[in-house]
A and B are shown apart, each in its own frame.
Chain A
Amino acid sequence: MSLRVEALRKNFGAARALDGLSLEVPAGTFLAVLGASGSGKSTLLRIIAGFEPADAGRILIGGEDVTGLPPQRRPCAMMFQSYALFPHLSVHENIAYGLRRAGTYSAARVSDLLALVGLSGLDARRPAQLSGGQQQRVALARALARKPPLLLLDEPLAALDAGLRAATGAELRRLQRETQTTFVMVTHDQQEALALADQVAVLHEGRVAQCASPQEVYARPATRFVAEFLGAANIINTPAGLCALRPEHIRVGPTGTVPATVQHIAFRGETWVIACRTADGTALRSVLSAQSAPPAPGVAVMLSWDAAALVPLCA
C-alpha cells in the first residue's frame, strides 16, 4: 500500500520535531528515512504508526486517511528498534500475538513465519534466551505475521553487531521483495540506506531535504546538508555559488589546476583519505586507492577535478 504524509507538524514543548513534513511512498517501495539523531525520524514513524498524535497534517495509507485512527486500526505494523518482544511469552506466542487478535491464528502460520526468518524449532524459547540477531528475526516475523501492507522499521539493524548487519540487511531486502510490502525504514546509517532502499528521504530540521533514489541523492545532493550527510562531500564556493564535490572526484598529483598542501592522511582499509588545504584556505578531502602511495603530510600537491563533478547546491 502507498503511504502519503502531508504537512506533518509536531512540537514537543518548545522543541520542533516535525516542521511541515511531506512524503510520498508508492506501494511496494523500500523507503529509507535517513537523518541524524534528533532529526525527527523516529517521531515520524511513531506518528505514522499512531502512537503519537500529530499537531497538524495528515497520514494516508493506501489512499485512506488514518490520521485520527488508533494504532489498532491502522493497516501497518511496526518493528521496534529494541524489538519490544513480550518477555513473558514464548517465541511462538510472540509471533502468534497479532494473529490471535485478528482471529486468524494457526500453528502452521506461525511455523511458516519462523521458517521465513530461519528460526524453525525455536518456538518454545523465551526472548531472553535468544541472541540479538535471533530476537531481531522474531520481531520481524511478528511484524509480518498479519501480512501488513505497510511495515515500519525503526533502526532495524542498529542493535546488531557489524558482522550481522550486512547479511541481515540483505535478508530484509529479500523479504521486502518477496512479500511486496511497502517498507519504511528509519536509519541514521547512510551506507545502510543507500544499500537497501529504492528511495532515500533525507530528513533535516523536521522536513524532507531530498527524496530520491540512492544514486540520485548521492550523486546530485540537493542541499548542503544532504551533500555533507551522505558521503561527507567537500563544499566549495564557486563563482556560480556553493557546490558539492565528492572526495573521489578530486585527483591528487604533481600536475593539476589548484595548488594545495597535504594536511594529514588516514588509512581506511580500501582507501587513503587525503586532507588538503588550498592556498585560499579551503579544506578539501580526496581519496586514493590503498594500492597507490599516498603523499606525505606537508607536501605541496596539485589538485584537479572535472567541471561536471561539481554539483550546485540550493542551500
Chain B
Amino acid sequence: MTRAVLALGLVFLWAPVALMAVFAFSDARQPFVWGGFSWRWFAALADNPRMQEAALLSLGIAAGAATLAVLAGGALGWVLARHGAFRGRMVFGALAAAPLVLPEVVTGLSLLLLFVALERATGWPEGRGVLTILLAHASLGAAYVAVVVQARLAGLGRMLEDAAADLGAAPATILRTITLPLIAPSLLAGWGLAFMLSLDDVVLASFTGGPGATTLPVLLFSQMRMGPTPEANALALILLLIAALVGAVALLLRR
C-alpha cells in the first residue's frame, strides 16, 4: 500500500519530466509526436546563437546572484542565530524569511518599483538589465541562504564558539577558525539553492530585466507563445541536468 502510494506520487512528479526528456530525442517537428530517435534538436540548439547567449547569461547571473546571496544571506543568518537577543528580533526574523512565501509577482513588482525609484533619485542602476536581474535574484536567494545558515547554527549550538572564546580566541578569530568552517557546507548548499532559483526564474527576470537582458527561462517562455518546439525540450533537458547536478551537490553537502 505504502509502495503503491509512493509510486503514484513519483509518477505524478516525474512523468511529465520523463515525457519531455523522451521527446527531446524525437525526430518529429511537433514536440508531441514520436518521430524516431535523433540528436537533431540538440544540434539545432548548438546552432542557435540566441539560445546560447541566453544560456550563458543565465548561468552568469545565477553564479553571481548565488555568490551575492551567500554573502548577504550568510551574514543575515549568522546575525539572527548568534546575536538574536536584540529587540524586534522576531519581526526581523520573519521579515528575513518572508520572501520565501511572498508571491514572486509581488517581489518582482516591488523590486521593479525600487529600481525605477532608485534610478530617478540617484541615476543608478541605469535602466533594467543584467545587474537588476542579478540583484533581484540575489535578494530572493539571500532569504533562502539565511534560513539554511540559521538552521545550521541553531543546530550546532553556541558551545563550540564558547569553547574557542575560553581558549583565548577573539570574536573575529572564532568566526574564521570555528564558525565559518562549520557552516561551510550550509553556505555551499545555500549557494546551490540560490543558483537553481535564479536559473529557473521567469517572473523576477521578466519584471526586472530589460530588452538587452533575456535570460534562458524568459526566452524559452516567450518562444512558447509561438508554440512549443522540440528544441525547447532539448534545452529544458539540459537545464534539468544542470539543476540536478547542483541540487545533488547541495543535498550531499547539507548532510
Query: Residues on A close to B: CB < 8 A?
Result: 49-51, 70-72, 76-78, 80, 82, 84, 86-88, 97-98, 101-102, 142, 145-146
Query: Residues on B close to A: CB < 8 A?
Result: 159-160, 162-170, 173, 177-178, 181-182
Q: A86-B178, A87-B182 are in contact. Are A97 and B160 (CB under 8 A)?
A: no
Choice from B159, B165, B182 contacting A72 with Cβ under 8 Å: B165
Residues of A within 8 A of B160 (CB): 84, 86-87
B167 touches A97 (CB 8 A): yes
Pairs across A and B, CB under 8 Å, 26 listed: A49-B166, A50-B166, A51-B162, A71-B162, A72-B165, A72-B166, A72-B169, A72-B170, A78-B162, A78-B163, A78-B166, A80-B162, A80-B163, A82-B159, A84-B159, A84-B160, A84-B162, A84-B163, A86-B163, A88-B182, A97-B167, A97-B177, A98-B167, A101-B167, A102-B168, A142-B167
Choice from A49, A84, A87, A146 contacting B168 with Cβ under 8 Å: A146
A72 touches B168 (CB 8 A): yes
Nearest chain-A residue to B168 (Cβ)?
A101
- Bound together, the chains give a CA A142 to CA B169 distance in angstroms of 13
Residues of B within 8 A of A78 (CB): 162-163, 166
Residues of A within 8 A of B177 (CB): 97
Choice from A70, A88, A142, A146 contacting B165 with Cβ under 8 Å: A70
A71 touches B159 (CB 8 A): no
Nearest chain-A residue to B170 (Cβ)?
A72
Residues of A within 8 A of B169 (CB): 72, 97, 101
Residues of A within 8 A of B164 (CB): 86, 97
- Bound together, the chains give a CA A142 to CA B182 distance in angstroms of 19
Residues of B within 8 A of A88 (CB): 181-182
- Bound together, the chains give a CA A102 to CA B173 distance in angstroms of 12
Choice from A50, A70, A87, A146 contacting B167 with Cβ under 8 Å: A146
- Bound together, the chains give a CA A50 to CA B164 distance in angstroms of 12
Residues of B within 8 A of A70 (CB): 165
- Bound together, the chains give a CA A87 to CA B159 distance in angstroms of 12
Residues of B within 8 A of A142 (CB): 167
- Bound together, the chains give a CA A86 to CA B178 distance in angstroms of 7
- Bound together, the chains give a CA A78 to CA B164 distance in angstroms of 10
A80 touches B167 (CB 8 A): no
A-B contacts besides A88-B182, A146-B167, 11 pairs, CB < 8 Å: A51-B165, A72-B165, A72-B166, A77-B167, A78-B162, A80-B162, A84-B159, A84-B162, A87-B182, A97-B177, A145-B167
- Bound together, the chains give a CA A97 to CA B178 distance in angstroms of 10
Nearest chain-A residue to B173 (Cβ)?
A101
- Bound together, the chains give a CA A50 to CA B165 distance in angstroms of 9
- Bound together, the chains give a CA A23 to CA B134 distance in angstroms of 60
Q: A86-B178, A88-B182 are in contact. Are A80 and B165 (CB under 8 A)?
A: no
B166 touches A77 (CB 8 A): yes
Residues of A within 8 A of B181 (CB): 88
Q: Which of B164, B167, B168, B178 neighbours the largest number of chain A CB atoms within 10 Å of its CB? A: B167
- Bound together, the chains give a CA A166 to CA B202 distance in angstroms of 66
- Bound together, the chains give a CA A72 to CA B165 distance in angstroms of 5
Q: How far, in Å, is B248 (CB) from chain A's closest CB?
A: 23
- Bound together, the chains give a CA A86 to CA B160 distance in angstroms of 7
Residues of A within 8 A of B170 (CB): 72, 101
